[in-house]
Amino acid sequence: MTIDNRPPVLQVHDVSVVRQGRPLIAHIDLEVRAGEQWTLLGPNGAGKSTLLALCGARLHPTTGTVHVLGHRLGRVDMRSLRTHIGHVDPRTHIDPHVTVHEAVLTGLYASSALPPRAEPSVVERQKTAELIDMLGLGAIADSPWSVLSQGERGRALIARALVTDPDLLLLDEPTTGLDLAAREILLGVIAELQQLRPELSSVLVTHHLEELPASTTHALVLAGGAVVARGKVDDTLTSETITHAFGHPIVLERRSGRWSATGAVRAHSSRTGCSAVNAYL
């Protein structure tokens, strides 16, 4: 759901990032409004991580302008701005001895463990407990990080990202390392956030279409650092678009709100008859 009467949460205008003379992304435009759930999709090396770093106020553009939550990068304290952005990255390091409750509280301090003099308020502790319950972790709230499954850690990282009441949530391949069941549980949680926090905007990075939550509203498809397609998800995620981006003939399907992709069948003659190979993204 889009909340149209609010200013854009993200504005990326004609942005390029160049390193050692090579453009990582070139002439990118993106506008994310309140309540929109975007995905950045494309093959490895497409520029997704670079663009996400700009959205998260962790990188300055070489050319072009980036406004995050109404602030232009280069004219704002980046560290302060990042406190209003939730970031979910399965590679985040959390001290193995902290409990789930403590791990979520570390989101208030952007640290791997609670600082020695940290004194979360009663309200902050209460919100932490509510998030833990909301994400189905109440029964293991006092369990140390070291004993959690990857799926439990993924849900705890979402709670950690939400504890500051961010206006923007960034998810960097959040289902990495999860088995099928854990992935589906996590994607269900992400989809439910749209109902629980309808004003929250999100940007999710992946190169696997089956990892997109059903709540996805918009998509930006990248290849070679350039935009292939951008817009509402049903208009953007097509077989033609994905074939172009991945450089391989792909047939895209959507059922019950979720996507799947298979390689287009290429039949050819042989002495034993025709053969075909299906390929998945």
* Architecture field, domain 10-237: 3-Layer(aba) Sandwich (3.40)
pLDDT digits (tens, 9 = 90+) for 248-268: 999 999 998 899 988 876 544
Beta sheet of 37-41, edge-to-edge order: 85-88, 168-172, 201-206, 37-41, 218-223, 226-232
Across residues 26-52, what is the average pLDDT?
A: 95
**pLDDT for the residue 276:** 35
User: What pLDDT, in 10s, does the model give residues 179-195?
Assistant: 999 999 999 999 998 88
Q: Please compute the mean of the pLDDT values over residues 30-46 and round it to a whole number.
A: 95
For residue 171 the two structure tokens come to: 């998810």
Length of the chain as a residue count: 281
> Residue 6's pLDDT is what?
72
pLDDT tops 50 at residue 274: no
**Model pLDDT, residue 161:** 95
Domain ranges, ordered by start, for the chain:
10-237
Residue 270 has pLDDT above 70, yes or no: no
Q: What are the tokens at 263?
A: 């390689």
Q: Where residue 234 falls among pLDDT bands split at 50, 70, 90? A: very high
Answer whether residue 269 shows pLDDT above 50.
Answer: no
- Give me the pLDDT at residue 117, please: 84
Rounded mean pLDDT, 19-41: 95
pLDDT digits (tens, 9 = 90+) for 74-125: 999 988 898 899 999 999 999 999 999 999 999 998 888 888 888 889 999 9
Q: Which pLDDT score, from 0 to 100, does residue 4 have?
A: 58
Looking at residue 43, its pLDDT comes to 93
Residue 220 has pLDDT above 70, yes or no: yes
3-state secondary structure 127-152: HHHHHHHHCCCHHHCCCEHHHCCHHH
What is the pLDDT at residue 240? Answer: 95
Higher local confidence (pLDDT), 266 or 231: 231
Task: Please determine, for residue 3, whether its predicted confidence score (pLDDT) is greater than 80.
Answer: no
pLDDT for res 5: 65
Whether the predicted pLDDT of 244 surpasses 50: yes
Contacts within 8 Å (CB) and 24+ apart, 181-188: 181/151, 182/149, 182/150, 182/151, 182/154, 183/151, 183/211, 185/136, 185/151, 185/155, 186/151, 186/154, 186/155, 186/158, 187/211, 187/212, 187/213, 187/214, 188/213
The stretch 234-253 carries a mean pLDDT of 94
Residue 277 pLDDT exceeds 50: no
How confident is the model at residue 127, as a pLDDT?
94
In DSSP terms, 65 is beta-bridged to 13
